[in-house]
């Protein structure tokens, strides 16, 4: 058998290098579909046009199309079932994917089998001037959280403590929700939806009871109906804010809590009917109440976690995505990596906005990476940029740099990052605090 052709939506050089280190990669040829900048560096997603161009690229290819994969959230995740159906390659069905990604439909399905592990919720129209009173009628009171029915990352998510907060949040939502609602509605039109779900399209939002605690992500896959969780990553936030400080693997949650989260994962993914694809589920453990909450389901591996699995287990969990797309049980190692623990850190500023004057130069970055073996630093900004130009940010801060590190212990990992962060020097002007 010759090399198998695997097409990756939004393939960039960084991910190509990782993919070529996977088990069996010598038998694969990786090809890009859709330029990386169209899915990484923008908030505008002309998904119908992107699908058309992707299909043309695949049809023009002189050879078999053995697999089509991607690692990004919207729009890549929702494009894959449509492309795979057209070319007869393996992935989850569009409807099972939407039962995860359409936040209202997902909560309805979750309530059917794990209702004690989800918050109270209701959908609302951000353009409805009576929305706040209707949320109250549904039994949700301050504080609560709002977010779009379909969002990307933490964008346009807000904690609501007062009517003034709600007015501010809906103002932002009215201005910006169309960037995702219009392309997401195109995807919804391709699916068979219950009427209760079809009435709540991409222009709607969710209001949910505030949940919290120790946050983590269960990474898993489904292969021919078998749900397999294979790793849990801790998500650690900055104190008193919603912004992430780091992702850490392996999780330090108590073993019994990890086991229960894995049980819940098997229950909900089997109930949804999701199959032959990777996923991850974000959970909270409220230690005070000893209560587990399911936050959301994502229909992909977490790209942020690839390096963590490589450092600790020996290979990026892109292995899972590629194997599944080829119809193979994933060949994912366990604890065969160079480090006992690994983290992805977010170097942030908490400005409303500012102009970047200077950033660490390549020589300084290279020197830091040499000082801390196993470290990789990716700057997210360049001189002259306004922070507000950065795509895919949360509503409270800006990530100036991403830092991946490995170590022999949690304590060493945190100490190394603290020393490194002191030497990442940025300068700003026109700061709006």
131: nearest Cα among 161, 169, 105, 157: 169
Number of Cβ atoms within 10 Å of the Cβ of 87: 16
Task: Give the C-alpha separation, 341 to 247, whole Å.
Answer: 11
Q: How many residues are there in the chain?
A: 433
Task: Give the C-alpha separation, 304 to 281, whole Å.
Answer: 14
This model's pTM is above 0.85? yes
For tokens 């169309």, the residue is: 178
406: nearest Cα among 264, 247, 265, 223: 247
Residues 6 or more apart from 372 whose CB is under 8 A from it? Answer: 405, 416, 419, 420
Q: Domain-by-domain residue ranges, the chain? A: 4-96, 120-209, 339-433
- Give pLDDT, residue 296: 96
Straight-line distance from the first to the last Cα atom of the chain, in angstroms, rounded to the nearest whole number? 60
Number of Cβ atoms within 10 Å of the Cβ of 108: 17
339-433 folds as Aldehyde Oxidoreductase; domain 3 (3.90.1170)
| Element spanning 408, H or E | none
Number of Cβ atoms within 10 Å of the Cβ of 433: 7
DSSP secondary structure string for all residues of 322-369: HHHHTT------SS-SS-SEEEEEEEEE--SEEEEEE---HHHHHHHH
Structure tokens at 144: 């609560």
Q: Which CATH class is domain 4-96?
A: alpha beta
282: nearest Cα among 312, 244, 313, 322: 244
| Element spanning 390, H or E | none
399: nearest Cα among 245, 242, 180, 248: 245
Tens-level pLDDT at each residue, the chain (433 residues): 689 999 999 999 989 999 999 999 999 999 999 999 888 767 788 999 999 999 999 999 999 999 999 998 888 999 999 999 999 999 999 999 999 999 999 999 999 999 999 999 999 999 999 999 999 999 999 999 999 999 866 678 899 999 999 999 999 999 999 988 999 999 999 999 999 999 999 999 999 999 999 999 999 999 999 999 999 999 999 887 778 999 999 999 999 999 999 999 999 999 999 999 999 999 999 999 999 999 999 999 999 999 999 999 999 999 999 999 999 999 999 999 999 999 999 999 999 899 999 999 999 999 999 999 899 999 999 999 999 988 877 778 999 999 999 999 999 999 999 999 999 999 999 999 7
Question: Does residue 68 contact residue 80 with C-beta atoms inside 8 Å?
Answer: yes
120-209 folds as Dna Ligase; domain 1 (3.30.1490)
Task: Give the C-alpha separation, 360 to 150, whole Å.
Answer: 35
């Amino acid at each position: 058998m010759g090399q198998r052709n695997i097409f990756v939506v939004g393939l960039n050089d960084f991910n190509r290098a990782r993919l070529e280190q996977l088990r069996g990669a010598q038998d694969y040829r990786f090809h890009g579909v859709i330029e990386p900048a169209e899915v990484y560096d923008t908030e505008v997603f002309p998904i119908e046009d992107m699908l058309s161009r992707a299909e043309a690229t695949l049809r023009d290819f002189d050879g078999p199309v053995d697999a089509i994969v991607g690692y990004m959230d919207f729009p890549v995740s929702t494009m894959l079932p449509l492309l795979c159906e057209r070319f007869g390659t393996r992935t989850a069905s569009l409807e099972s994917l939407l039962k995860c990604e359409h936040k209202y439909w997902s909560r309805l399905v979750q309530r059917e089998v794990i209702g004690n592990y989800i918050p109270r919720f209701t959908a609302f129209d951000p353009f409805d001037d009576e929305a706040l009173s209707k949320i109250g009628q549904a039994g949700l009171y301050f504080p609560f959280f709002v977010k779009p029915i379909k969002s990307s990352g933490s964008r346009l998510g807000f904690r609501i403590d007062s009517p003034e907060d709600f007015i501010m949040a809906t103002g932002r939502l009215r201005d910006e929700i169309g960037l995702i609602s219009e392309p997401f509605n195109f995807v919804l039109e391709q699916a068979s939806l219950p009427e209760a779900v079809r009435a709540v399209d991409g222009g709607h939002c969710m209001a949910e009871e505030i949940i919290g605690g120790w946050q983590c992500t269960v990474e898993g896959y489904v292969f021919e109906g078998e749900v397999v969780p294979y790793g849990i990553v801790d998500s650690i936030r900055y104190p008193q804010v919603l912004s992430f400080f780091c992702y850490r693997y392996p999780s330090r949650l108590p073993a019994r809590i990890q086991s229960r989260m894995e049980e819940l994962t098997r229950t909900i993914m089997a109930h949804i009917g999701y199959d032959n694809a990777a996923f991850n589920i974000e959970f909270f453990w409220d230690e005070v109440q000893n209560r587990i909450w399911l936050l959301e389901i994502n229909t992909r591996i977490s790209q942020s976690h690839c390096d963590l699995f490589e450092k600790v287990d020996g290979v990026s969990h892109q292995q899972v995505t590629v194997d599944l797309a080829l119809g193979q049980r994933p060949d994912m190692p366990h604890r065969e990596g160079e480090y006992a623990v690994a983290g992805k850190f977010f170097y942030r500023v908490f400005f409303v906005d500012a102009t970047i004057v200077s950033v660490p130069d390549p020589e300084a970055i290279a020197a830091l990476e040499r000082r801390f073996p196993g470290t990789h630093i990716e700057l997210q900004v360049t001189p002259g940029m306004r922070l507000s130009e950065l795509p895919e940010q949360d509503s409270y801060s800006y990530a100036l740099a991403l830092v991946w590190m490995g170590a022999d212990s949690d304590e060493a990992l945190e100490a190394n990052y603290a020393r490194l962060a002191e030497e990442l020097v940025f300068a700003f002007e026109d700061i709006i605090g």
